[in-house]
Structure 1
Amino acid sequence: MTHQVLARKWRPRDFETLVGQQHVVRALTHALASGRLHHAYLLTGTRGVGKTTIARILARAVNCETGVTARPCGQCSACGGIDAGRFVDYIELDAASNRGVDEMTQLLENAVYAPSAGRYKVYVIDEVHMLSTHAFNAMLKTLEEPPPHVLFILATTDPQKVPVTVLSRCLQFNLKNMTPAAIASHLAEVLDAERIAYDAPALALIGRSAGGSMRDALSLLDQAIAYGGGSVAEGAVGEMLGSVDQGRIDALFDALANADGAALIGVADAIAEAGSSFERVLDELALRLHRVALVQAGVRVDEASLEACERHARQFAPEDVQVYYQIVIHGARDLPLAPDPHAGFSMTLLRLLAFRPEGGGSEPPVPAAGGGARSSPDKPVGVPRSPGTATGTQALQALRAATSSRPARGTTTPGAMREASAPAEASDRRQPAASPEVAPSGANPPRGLRVDAELAPAVPNTNSRAELAPAMPEASPASHPSSEGMGSGAAPGGGAPVFFDGDWPALARRLAATGLLGQFLQQSELLSFDQDGFRVRVPIRPLAEAGTVARVRDVLSQHFGQPIRLQVEVGAVAGVTAARVVEQERGERLEAARESLESDPFVRSLLSDLGGRILPDSVLPVPGGAG
């Protein structure tokens, strides 16, 4: 046979052409350059990652006629003999078939003789963990103190089975699995040199199927060339490997985005008719979800799936993707327990619909600049400013005056609002805080965000809480009741609206949200608002993601009892936020605690009589702001 398989033809013959394993290459290169060679090396790693290849390169490096070098010439008799397997001082031993003590004894007896043609006798023992216990014991003494002309290179795929006494006598290198991207890149170089046409997605399929082994990848490439009749096409490679049709994965995602259970089951039936493995389909689903999550996090994925992943990233919120990923991997784990694989696969798909996070639906989440409930993602809706918009403290003063003069319009007066809010706030303190995403009770009348267009303030960035307080003394949580308090205090059927006073930190504290939703409310700064919605700024981009903005908008809509528009900007937050208010109040309570402690007679006597001192870090703020 004149044909040579690609795995042998393209085996690296020096460290420079070795793909991957740079940590091993660097250590051996420096050792060869400085002359600090160890007498025994142990190379560990899975199949096809370069253990035997590195052993042969090292043998050529120490026996090259140009001298001990990290760049063997590849032209001399030593380099050629080792490459062809006929160099007398290069001995490869397969421990799987020569595992007894007799074979090891014969090898060690020959090791004492000087090399015949090279500088070193190099013994490569492959799958060394297969040696018997007696064989390991026989080689211990020679392995610890070998003759100066002997170099042992041991290779194994299972280092756990190698005795500790052998491990301690060797310099060990753990070879890494190749990444699919590195495998695909090397295969492309091989095909370019062989002048064979190929599709990049086909090489990506081979890279994933190789399991980190470059030799397996080259063997699969040989098979793909034969299967495709001299070319490597994506469709042919997919048929050869039994891979899942990516079009069916796209169909599953589209059906899930449309909440179409019938379409999901239809795709599952088509997969069953095609004879595809349900385990592989679930694996492909998990991999696609992983790439979608990477795209949503701003990480670039491979070109082959970039377009589909970007489309899915717009269809689903990040929290949806995380939930789906957990459901899919758990479904793959539980598939062997199902009475029928098709039924188990179908139930996993239906579980994706059943456990979709609240607020999910057939429509994609609204982008950060989104508007009302479930707006189109291609049509962001902003919060308009009316021509007569006032700014700063003057607007809040005007709003306060307008609010206090509206009893004739059927709304509750500020005094009545305060009276109605008191029992509700007391009740809130006695009961655990409810989730802000719970819909308003049907017994409560509809509520609304009521702000006159001419009074809607555009809150400047430089406002502080101290500036707002003199202009609107009623703008405290006590004088502006929570949505629950307003609902119970309004006349039945009267639809009494909630008047927003511009105190965004107070609103954030009343909503009492947690998690990412709470971080949005705590860290955001109000820029402007009107009767339909708000315009806010957040300090970091993750808080402005479409899913988070949609959830905040839903909570505000539930709180005010009407659709609320929310426009979000990303930038430096210089104004008042709920987090800064909490930190300021905590500092005030801590200072009050320190003053109370220092003024206590008993503490003062301890400090003066015993020479004690108060440790600053030991003082804690008083809960509730009590001194």
Structure 2
Amino acid sequence: MTYQVLARKWRPKNFSELVGQTHVMQALSNALEQQRVHHAYLFTGTRGVGKTTIARIFSKALNCEQGPSAHPCGQCSACLAIDQGRFVDLIEVDAASRTKVEDTREILDNVQYAPTQGRFKVYLIDEVHMLSKSSFNALLKTLEEPPPHVKFLLATTEPHKLPITVLSRCLQFNLLRLTTVQLEQHLAMILTAEALAFEPGGLALIAKAADGSARDALSLLDQAIAYCAGNITQAAVQTMLGLVSPQQVQAVLTTLQSGQSPALKALLLDLAATGVDYMALLNQLLASFHQLAQTQFLGEALDSGDLTSAQLQEWSAAIDPARLQVWYQIGLRAQQDIRLAPDVRMGFEMMLMRMFAFKPSDGSSRPAISNSAASVTNAPSIDTVMSSNPVATQPPLVPAAAEASAPVQQHQVRETPPSLELDAFPALKARVARVQKRQNASPELNSESVTTVQEQQPAVPEPTIPELVPPPLAEPAPTEVASIEPMLTESSIEQTAAAGVGLPVADLDSWIAMIDQLQPTGMALALAQQACWVKREEQAWWLALDSMQLQANNEVAWQNLQKLVWEKISPDITLHKLSEPLTGLTPAQAMKDQKQQQEQLWMEALEQSTVLANIEAQLGMTRLHNSLKVSY
């Protein structure tokens, strides 16, 4: 028994049978009609959209005995030979299996000979991006100036892998993905011709699963015919593709609309009992949200899905548009969070509970952020600062249960002197305190810390040096040293609040305070200390990293820092990297500058010390230049 698959049986044999790709057909037809045929064509696009098919039809149009014509007859010996794959002047090359330069040279050795059977000798090189660099180099000269009787037709799914020298020698045509409607109509035409029964809903599912590929759609149609025994139904196609039934999607929407906890509990138990594919359910739920949003704003859904027209009209009128957008946003975030959850079921259930817990607000209140033990006393939370922005880019999320509770207590700005500053780096502050304490007191120098060179003198008994009482060290002129300790005083908080969300943040103290609130460790701490807080918005923060961190590209540290922001600040804030050069100090650079300035002060004090001068005079020794070192 010989059976020809639908993808081969229904392969188009002329331009009129092609589905879509009108921009390519028009260009090729005009070139044939006007006798302005280029010597090299490159067809690009995803799999199964017609690259090889168009190349064969074009070859048939060039060699048809009634042509060259945009409408090959399909009856002459050349057309029949091309359809049957035995036309000697159509040389099809699979570049994926013939990648060596020797294979390319063997093919090009016959270019100079005239065609045997047709008008043109056509070289159809499929998956041309698989050729080696040497093969491309061997092809360049012939591709640029081939004989008049030679045409090159190249096809590839990855044009970015082709050398620019090859691209510049070809006319390029990018074949588009087919729309769902085009695929549905094409499948319906084939099933009608094959005298097979079908439901339009089943064809819609196949067309959607094909993702714009006609060959994939026909392969799935072959599978559906075998699975459904010749009667293609929507339910059978859903089972074959492993999709979730529309009833389950509708049950989730009904539960979300009701807002009742008992209904949510019953839904979760039912989903767990049926063993549903949670990721497939999430994807179909997001598609339903998209349909509802289209109905709300456009009047109708442009895409088919799990909801009927009546259901779309009913739910689009019953569900608040802002609440629908919140659900969609939570669903998109869940696609990332589910991968981090202990299991898929837990992540999906948490997503549904978030949809129950959060609702859009007018901006007067925001979800409360719990203060952990590491939170700073009397310091305003990040949401308190951000809520001062009068312009909101989108409605914030507020727990629904918080409406009936008491109003959120706002943090008051302290009026006491800034003696209880926010300690962003306790270790740094302790070190600076020790330095300041030692700076205020007279430094006691040990003779062992001074490197000296004894002058060459005759050997004499070691003299007894009377105990020296060092005179008081003259205090150097006060020098203002930049401190990197974060000082969240009343004025700085007001300035931060007045800046508003979305404006550039160039305050080093604010970023240091935020690092202390996040409490990162390890690589995440190193990443935060090497970053500048460039810009912040309600749901996005932009960090500029130094060159070393950009080269390291430590995604683990970045993800850990992102998790801390979600846990301790807000689950709606996403961190973004900026590749621009740093324009301000990072906390690490500020710490380094602080240390260098303190060391410079000590060095100047030691250079002016009379104690060192007395020691050198009494011992008759000379101190080496730059031999003093300060450590603390």
Length-normalised TM-score, structure 2: 0.56
**Alignment partner, residue 338 of structure 1:** 341
Distance 1:441 1:53, change over 3 A: closer
**Alignment partner, residue 76 of structure 2:** 76
Post-superposition shift, 1:336? 0.9
**Alignment partner, residue 282 of structure 1:** 282
Residue 327 (structure 2) aligned to one of 324, 327, 330: 324
For residue 356 of structure 1, give the secondary structure of its aligned residue in structure 2.
strand
Cα deviation 1:439-476 (Å, max 9, x = unaligned): 99999xxxxxxxxxxxxxxxxxxxxxxxxxxxxxxxxx
- Mapped pair 1:307 → 2:310: yes
For residue 138 of structure 1, give the secondary structure of its aligned residue in structure 2.
helix
CA distance in 2, matches of 1:117, 1:283: 54
CA-atom RMSD, angstroms? 2.5
CA distance in 2, matches of 1:293, 1:241: 26
Distance 1:33 1:264, change over 3 A: farther
**Alignment partner, residue 441 of structure 2:** none
Query: Is contact 1:99–1:132 with CA below 8 Å preserved after alignment?
Result: yes
Distance 1:272 1:208, change over 3 A: farther
Give the letter aligned to residue 21 of structure 1: Q
**Alignment partner, residue 246 of structure 2:** 246
Post-superposition shift, 1:261? 3.4
CA distance in 2, matches of 1:269, 1:153: 58
Query: Is contact 1:93–1:126 with CA below 8 Å preserved after alignment?
Result: yes
Distance 1:434 1:86, change over 3 A: closer
Distance 1:9 1:322, change over 3 A: same
Cα deviation 1:94-142 (Å, max 9, x = unaligned): 1110111111001101111111111111111111111011111100000
CA distance in 1, matches of 2:264, 2:56: 53
Cα deviation 1:62-120 (Å, max 9, x = unaligned): 01111111111111111111111100001111111011111100110111111111111
**Alignment partner, residue 260 of structure 2:** 260
Alignment of 1:589-604 (within 5 A): none
Distance 1:104 1:223, change over 3 A: same
Query: Is contact 1:122–1:153 with CA below 8 Å preserved after alignment?
Result: yes
**Alignment partner, residue 104 of structure 2:** 104
**Alignment partner, residue 352 of structure 1:** 355
For residue 114 of structure 2, give the secondary structure of its aligned residue in structure 1.
coil
**Alignment partner, residue 482 of structure 1:** none
Give the letter aligned to residue 73 of structure 1: C
CA distance in 1, matches of 2:142, 2:389: 74
For residue 134 of structure 1, give the secondary structure of its aligned residue in structure 2.
helix
For residue 212 of structure 1, give the secondary structure of its aligned residue in structure 2.
coil
CA distance in 2, matches of 1:303, 1:215: 21
CA distance in 1, matches of 2:405, 2:277: 48
Query: Is contact 1:248–1:267 with CA below 8 Å preserved after alignment?
Result: no
**Alignment partner, residue 546 of structure 2:** none
Alignment of 1:492-507 (within 5 A): none
Post-superposition shift, 1:268? 3.9
CA distance in 2, matches of 1:432, 1:121: 70
Distance 1:65 1:264, change over 3 A: farther
Query: Is contact 1:210–1:216 with CA below 8 Å preserved after alignment?
Result: yes
Post-superposition shift, 1:30? 1.0
Give the letter aligned to residue 210 of structure 1: A
CA distance in 2, matches of 1:355, 1:252: 16
**Alignment partner, residue 162 of structure 1:** 162
Query: Is contact 2:123–2:152 with CA below 8 Å preserved after alignment?
Result: yes
Cα deviation 1:488-522 (Å, max 9, x = unaligned): xxxxxxxxxxxxxxxxxxxxxxxxxxxxxxxxxxx
CA distance in 2, matches of 1:58, 1:355: 58
Post-superposition shift, 1:262? 3.7
CA distance in 2, matches of 1:342, 1:285: 15
CA distance in 2, matches of 1:321, 1:273: 27
**Alignment partner, residue 433 of structure 2:** none
Distance 1:291 1:104, change over 3 A: same
Query: Is contact 2:292–2:301 with CA below 8 Å preserved after alignment?
Result: no
**Alignment partner, residue 208 of structure 2:** 208
Post-superposition shift, 1:180? 1.6
**Alignment partner, residue 227 of structure 2:** 227
**Alignment partner, residue 486 of structure 1:** none
CA distance in 1, matches of 2:247, 2:121: 56
Distance 1:10 1:440, change over 3 A: closer
**Alignment partner, residue 270 of structure 1:** 270
- Mapped pair 1:292 → 2:295: no
Cα deviation 1:564-607 (Å, max 9, x = unaligned): xxxxxxxxxxxxxxxxxxxxxxxxxxxxxxxxxxxxxxxxxxxx
For residue 125 of structure 1, give the secondary structure of its aligned residue in structure 2.
strand
Alignment of 1:179-198 (within 5 A): 179-198=179-198
For residue 142 of structure 1, give the secondary structure of its aligned residue in structure 2.
helix
For residue 20 of structure 1, give the secondary structure of its aligned residue in structure 2.
coil
Distance 1:268 1:79, change over 3 A: farther
CA distance in 2, matches of 1:325, 1:306: 20
Cα deviation 1:517-551 (Å, max 9, x = unaligned): xxxxxxxxxxxxxxxxxxxxxxxxxxxxxxxxxxx
Query: Is contact 2:204–2:304 with CA below 8 Å preserved after alignment?
Result: no
Post-superposition shift, 1:433? 7.8
Distance 1:33 1:271, change over 3 A: farther
Cα deviation 1:151-180 (Å, max 9, x = unaligned): 111111111111111111111111111112
Post-superposition shift, 1:270? 3.3
Distance 1:39 1:273, change over 3 A: farther
Cα deviation 1:232-255 (Å, max 9, x = unaligned): 111110110001111000000000
**Alignment partner, residue 23 of structure 1:** 23
In structure 1, list runs of 5 or more residues that go unmatched. Answer: 360-430, 444-627
Percentage identity across paired residues of the two chains: 51
CA distance in 2, matches of 1:103, 1:222: 36
Greater Cα shift, 277-286 or 93-102:
277-286
Give the letter aligned to residue 146 of structure 1: P
Post-superposition shift, 1:301? 3.5
**Alignment partner, residue 138 of structure 2:** 138
CA distance in 2, matches of 1:162, 1:23: 23
CA distance in 1, matches of 2:391, 2:142: 74
CA distance in 2, matches of 1:139, 1:158: 18
Greater Cα shift, 132-141 or 431-440:
431-440
Distance 1:234 1:441, change over 3 A: closer
Post-superposition shift, 1:275? 3.6
Distance 1:35 1:355, change over 3 A: same
For residue 110 of structure 2, give the secondary structure of its aligned residue in structure 1.
helix
Give the letter aligned to residue 59 of structure 1: S
CA distance in 2, matches of 1:439, 1:93: 69
Post-superposition shift, 1:187? 0.6
- Mapped pair 1:123 → 2:126: no
Post-superposition shift, 1:300? 4.1
CA distance in 1, matches of 2:168, 2:313: 51
Query: Is contact 1:242–1:276 with CA below 8 Å preserved after alignment?
Result: no
Distance 1:351 1:65, change over 3 A: same
For residue 247 of structure 1, give the secondary structure of its aligned residue in structure 2.
helix
Post-superposition shift, 1:9? 0.9
For residue 102 of structure 1, give the secondary structure of its aligned residue in structure 2.
helix
**Alignment partner, residue 93 of structure 2:** 93
CA distance in 2, matches of 1:249, 1:358: 26
For residue 153 of structure 1, give the secondary structure of its aligned residue in structure 2.
strand
Query: Is contact 1:282–1:329 with CA below 8 Å preserved after alignment?
Result: no
Query: Is contact 1:178–1:213 with CA below 8 Å preserved after alignment?
Result: yes
Distance 1:95 1:276, change over 3 A: farther
